[in-house]
Chain A
Amino acid sequence: MAVKIFDRETILDLTVNIIPLFIIGFFLGLFLLYQAWGWDTLPSVLMIGLHVVPLVTLALLTYLSGKAIAGSEKTGDVFHQGQALVPGASEKEHGGAEAEPAIAEAGDEDEDEESGTEETRAAE
């Protein structure tokens, strides 16, 4: 594929999963550097495995799902959730028109805030 999938935007989306990866990695490092209960082969190897297996699997799944999602984002139309099959639904990327959701009944909200959020969304 010619388009770059793991650009800044995608990496930003993936930070949610990078944080837990970091936490697991941090504890692994901590437990290896400071071995409060010493080293015994079986429990210590299990300890490492209990960190490494989730770490690697999560990294792998994050990579694959990032590739699938960001990949199809870059090659096809992107709609908001549940709307891909609604005729006339606006697209996410160039959806300037849907930026101002009509405020129905309550009508007490601040319009600027609304469009502010939409910009945040578009930036994602």
Chain B
Amino acid sequence: MELNGQLALTVLMGLFLVAVAAWLARVENWRSYTPLGSGGGGYGQESGYVSQEKPSGFIRWLTTVDHKDIGMLYGAFGVTAFLVGGAMVMLMRAELTVPEMTLISNQFYNSLMTSHGITMLFLFGTPIIAAFSNYFIPLVIGADDMAFPRINAIAFWLLPPAALLIWAGFFPVPDVIPAQTSWTMYTPLSAGVGQGNQANAGVDLMLLGLHLSGISATMGAINFIVTIFTERAEEVTWANLDIFSWTILTQSGLILFSFPLLGSALLMLLADRNLGTTFFAVDGGGPMLWQHLFWFFGHPEVYILVLPPMGLVSYILPRFSGRRLFGFKFVVYSTLAIGVLSFGVWAHHMFATGMDPRLRASFMAVSMAIAIPSAVKTFNWITTMWNGSIRLTAPMLFCIGFVSNFIVGGVTGVFLASIPVDLVLHDTYYVVGHFHYIVMGAIAFAGFAGLYYWYPIYTGRMYQRSLAKWHFWLWMIGSNVTFFAMILLGYGGMPRRYATYLPQFTDLHQVASIGAFIMTLGALIFLWNFVVSWYEGPVVRDGDPWDLKEDSLYTTEWEWFDRKLKTAVADGGEALPGGEESDAAEN
């Protein structure tokens, strides 16, 4: 009986795959995909036919290898994941308004927390950065497309299955439960041994999904490294490379050296779980091995996430300060320094594990050293704004919010890097406050700066400015209320990763939840504005909607946009006044 059912399912699956293959063969002319035949091996020339053969409608999005389309796909994916991860955390914040267990079970709380972390880091953070880099880097460096357009498409299309695997435990599949390992997946819990329920297949699926997202990131990274090294236009020398491309180049290097390591560690963990190996078993390799491997990836990962947003801010902030980025080359060199040093600090996440004090001190020393390049950038941003003619547009507000939040996040980080302080604050809400100031207060803010700044380019329209400012202020206030409360909770000794707490922490937890609800309101406003303006916003008819030319701050991607507007076939007049409106500088 069971066997028959499985057989039927297999046959059905096979038929389905054949049908898909047949359908694909009809919509795509596979024979045009012979890159070697295009002569001269010039990958850059491919985009000629790539853009000619774009099918229309839905199929276009499934088959596209155009870097701009893929950037849009990454963007849509990232924003969606952000909403999912946000919904997860709002359930948790609702639960945390009271000390005891009420709304959800503590197991479900742990599942949400695990998924929230992984979703935000791997399914929102990396993809939203890839959205900007895919769309804009080839434009800014004067490349026809990415060096390997098809690998680019594959890298993106690995992400949706990765997301499904990571979230698998939440779907109504019998006997599969979500992982409750937290994003750090510490053994022995994640090895599934002992009394817990983490031997469940849901954890394996999550690990496989994570592995898949790592493959995607690695493919993307290789593509960016090759593109930036080999596809730059002649004028774009190393001295002329913009800061965003520099940060993406560095980020790609970090990905290249850290994600394969995560992948290997995940496979070892999967083997421990399913094949009886003892890599991380207490009397095998030991749980500390996992921590070392994980954080050797994990610390570079946080810089993988923060460097490109730093690049975005360094790129956008000067445009609304009426002047160039102060100390451009300082920013470039310090980016590279962060890239190297981020591999030498991993054990500052393990100060409390009882490792040899000599090693611990070494990691503290390098952690102190890495604070310098970060601080240098902060001073550069502030100096750029100092006495500039600042225009408080929505992207600029988000840039300023980034700088402000990054300062709090960075300073709390330096305190944590000091061993005696860390021994007190480790595993408290202080750490949660620290990294949320950075991942939410800085990285997400930079993402929004980019989404608003380039909105005219990728939608052809302008968003509603007053709503964008509402979004900013709700988020600036909300994030500081939430995450500062967390820092105070940490000082009070509130441990992280608990669904319940002692009554003395109630007030601050409620404050944190209020901040989170303020941000939810802001997010709804953002979503409304983002979608409605896409359809109904005033059409942008000028390639310089931010008036950058006045300050000689006009850049290549706007120049491209301008050319596109001018050469576009007139499609029979939409209301002009809207277009006029959108050139007026916001303020």
Contacts and interface: CB of A to CB of B under 8 A. Distances in A.
Contact of B315 (A24, A37, A82, A109): A82
B233 A58 contact: no
B361 to A, nearest CB: 6
A83 B552 CA distance: 9
B587 A124 contact: no
Contact of A46 (B240, B326, B359): B359
B337 interface: yes
A23 B557 contact: no
26 contacts: A13-B333, A16-B330, A16-B334, A16-B337, A17-B373, A20-B372, A24-B365, A47-B362, A54-B341, A57-B340, A61-B339, A65-B238, A65-B336, A73-B237, A80-B553, A83-B554, A85-B140, A85-B556, A86-B555, A98-B552, A103-B322, A105-B389, A106-B587, A109-B387, A110-B387, A114-B323
B493 interface: no
Given A16-B330, A16-B372, A102-B551, A85 B142 contact: yes
Judged by DSSP, the binding face of A is helix
Contact of B376 (A16, A69, A71): A16
Contacts of A90: 552
A40 to B, nearest CB: 8
A107 B585 CA distance: 13
A58 B336 CA distance: 8
Interface string A52-77: 01100110011001101111110011
A81 to B, nearest CB: 4
Contacts of B365: 23-24, 27-28, 31, 51
Contacts of A118: 323-324
Contact of A54 (B343, B552, B553, B587): B343
A103 B323 CA distance: 10
B231 to A, nearest CB: 13
A33 interface: no
* 9 A-B pairs with the lowest CB-CB distances in the bound complex, closest first: A82-B555, A27-B365, A72-B237, A54-B344, A50-B362, A81-B242, A20-B369, A101-B551, A73-B239
Contacts of A70: 239
B387 A106 contact: no
Interface string B523-549: 000000000000000000000000100
Interface of B: 140, 142, 233, 235-243, 315, 322-330, 332-334, 336-337, 339-341, 343-344, 356-359, 361-363, 365-366, 368-370, 372-373, 376, 387-391, 547, 550-557, 559, 585, 587
Interface string A7-31: 0000001101101110110011001
B336 A43 contact: no
B332 A69 contact: yes
Interface of A: 13-14, 16-17, 19-21, 23-24, 27-28, 31, 36-37, 40, 43-44, 46-47, 50-51, 53-54, 57-58, 61-62, 65-66, 68-73, 76-87, 89-90, 98, 101-110, 113-114, 117-118, 120-121, 124
A47 B361 contact: yes
A19 to B, nearest CB: 5
Contacts of A27: 361-362, 365, 368-369
Contact of A104 (B240, B333, B550): B550
A121 B370 contact: no
Given A27-B365, A62-B337, A105-B391, A44 B236 contact: no
Contacts of A61: 336-337, 339-340
Contacts of B390: 106
B369 A24 contact: yes
B554 A86 contact: yes
A80 B238 CA distance: 12
B556 A84 contact: yes
B340 A43 contact: no
Contact of A23 (B241, B358, B368, B553): B368
A86 B233 CA distance: 12
A121 B552 CA distance: 15
Nearest to A47: B358
B238 A104 contact: no
B371 to A, nearest CB: 9
Contact of A17 (B237, B337, B554): B337
Given A23-B365, A85-B236, A101 B336 contact: no
Contacts of B553: 80, 101
A76 B236 CA distance: 10
A23 B369 contact: yes
Contacts of A103: 322, 389
Contacts of B555: 81-83, 86
Contacts of B235: 76-77, 79, 84-85
A51 to B, nearest CB: 6
Contacts of A76: 235, 237, 239-240
Contacts of A24: 365-366, 369
A22 B493 CA distance: 36
Contacts of A58: 337, 340-341
A118 B330 CA distance: 16
B366 A51 contact: yes
A78 B242 CA distance: 12
Nearest to B241: A81
Given A54-B366, A78-B240, A80-B324, A104 B358 contact: no
Contact of B242 (A62, A82, A98, A114): A82
B333 A66 contact: yes
A63 to B, nearest CB: 11
A117 B343 CA distance: 35
Q: Which among A21, A79, A81, A98 has the highest number of chain B CB atoms within 10 Å?
A: A81
Contacts of A107: 389
Contacts of A72: 237-240
A84 B555 CA distance: 8
Q: Which among B233, B240, B326, B368 has the highest number of chain A CB atoms within 10 Å?
A: B240
A70 B17 CA distance: 55
Contacts of B366: 24, 50-51, 54
Contacts of A87: 559
B236 A16 contact: no
Contacts of A50: 344, 359, 362-363, 366
A72 B547 CA distance: 30
Contacts of A19: 372
Contacts of A102: 550-551
Contacts of B323: 101, 114, 117-118
